[in-house]
Amino acid sequence: MTAINNATSLSYVAEGAANVLFSSPSLDCRLLRLRKKIPQPCTKQVVEFLNQKIIPLFDSGMIASCKIVPVSKSVLQSLNLQLSRLEAVTNANDNSTHARPLKRHGIFLNVDEPYGILIENMSVLHQNGTMPNSSLPIIYSSKIRLTASSAAEILIRKDDSQSVVTVGIEFKPKWLCQSSDAPDDWKYCRTCALNRLRSGKTGNKEKKSNHNLICPLDLVSNDKDRVARAVQALLPDDIIQAEHNLKTGITITHVRQVLTKFLLNCFFFKKLCQVQKQNDKNGILNLNFNEPLDDQFLIAMTVRDCTAFVKIEFATGRQQELRSVFDEQQSSSLDVITNVDTGEEYIAHDDKFFLLRCRLADLDIKDGSGVKRTYWQNIERQLNDGGFYSSIDPELPPCR
């Protein structure tokens, strides 16, 4: 594998608690993910866990592709200088416009970690080549924060002969099936119960409503109304402000309906739910504290905190091509066709034809140490003892 020995073209994209993402034109539409200098598994351990324990559990194409790559110490040192410069230009009076989040200041890359990970870039601003027309000039782009764990992007590419509208959604599906530690008479799923707990501690009613925009159980319910409610949460009315820029006859309503068809007709999130359920049948409260956590439970906690990237595209220049795909199926009632070669879904709606691609990422092994185990157990005890699973919340309809 070719090592990364030059930091000149690498630019900061984003970061979480454990990693920083960088982009470069030379990375072939991938992102470079580098580890911070904090206690955590090394990059090789992360990739080995992903390849050996996670990927075999899922269908082909469900996980964002990634590969390990050597990174020189000089590159890491240069990127740490870049992070320092980004901190220097932070506007301390406006935490929404700074170059590097204030809460991430002071923690830098581990210069003794010799590897990074090249991951598939699912951002709509950087097409990965399998979606067509990625070379068309961008005439509009916008990224909107939806909830604490989700965002949506809108991108329009256009030239004289055709136009392309791409909508990307990035969110954490969280616990798609109920916790094994929940009481038998539960009324709220684990995610909504935890949101109730956290909002109750802050006493912030507005924060509570914002964080309960989506119930994970809606995503896998197979109920059209519940799925539509989840889609409304992922693509709220706030995003309609961008509709006047689309200029292709495509509306956010079209995009919502396409996403609804995907969730109702495809097994993607149901498979994620199945993996979560199969790897944690007994819960955290029933585990012996003196015994190490097994791989299955760590897998369950890992896939409960992954990120889903959904990309929906409408290309005027490909309508006839996609129409012929549906015509070949000789079924006028068929709305969704899977392309097994690319992992894309072809979706027909309102005599228009869309491409949809979904991938899972952020599947690093969870820390099963005593500190983390205590944290997980304490949460479950608070949810049970405080009645957050089973009591009625007048401001939040039950999930069940």
Query: How many helices (H) and strands (E) would you count in the chain?
Result: 11, 12
Fold (CATH) for 11-120: Phosphorylase Kinase; domain 1 (3.30.200)
Q: Supply 351's token pair.
A: 């005599």
| Residue position matching structure tokens 């304490």 | 378
Q: Compute the distance between CA of residue 388 and CA of residue 393 in angstroms, rounded to an integer.
A: 9
Supply the mean pLDDT for the chain. 84
Across the beta sheet with 19-23, what order do the strands follow? 11-15, 19-23, 30-35, 115-120, 66-70
DSSP 329: T
Report the run of H or E that residue 301 belongs to, with start and end. helix 295-303
Which tens digits make up the pLDDT trace of 240-299?
A: 665 555 566 778 889 899 999 999 999 999 999 999 999 998 899 987 767 777 889 999
Q: Which of 50, 54, 220 is nearest to 119 (CA)?
A: 50
pLDDT at residue 353 tops 50 = yes
Place of tokens 């539960």: 186
**DSSP state letter for 161:** S
Task: Say what the pLDDT of residue 222 is.
Answer: 95
The mean per-residue pLDDT over the stretch 3-13 comes to 91
Those residues whose C-beta lies under 8 Å from the C-beta of residue 62, and which sit 6 or more positions away, are 268, 271, 272, 343, 358, 359, 360
Q: Please report the pLDDT score of residue 208 as a whole number.
A: 44
Q: What is the tens place of the pLDDT at every residue in 24-79?
A: 988 878 999 999 999 888 999 999 999 999 999 999 889 999 999 999 999 999 99
Q: What is the pLDDT of residue 295?
A: 87
Q: Residue 22 in contact with residue 12, Cβ under 8 Å?
A: yes
Name the DSSP letter for residue 109: B
Looking at residue 198, its pLDDT comes to 87
Helices (H), 143-279: 190-202, 205-211, 216-219, 224-234, 252-265, 268-278
Q: How confident is the model at residue 207 (pLDDT cuts 50, 70, 90)?
A: very low
pLDDT tens readout for residues 296-331? 999 999 999 999 999 998 888 889 999 998 888 765
CATH 3.30.200.110 residue ranges in the chain? Answer: 11-120
Indicate whether 132 pLDDT > 60: no
Please give the pLDDT value at position 211. Answer: 41
List phi, psi (to 5°) of 259.
Answer: -65, -35
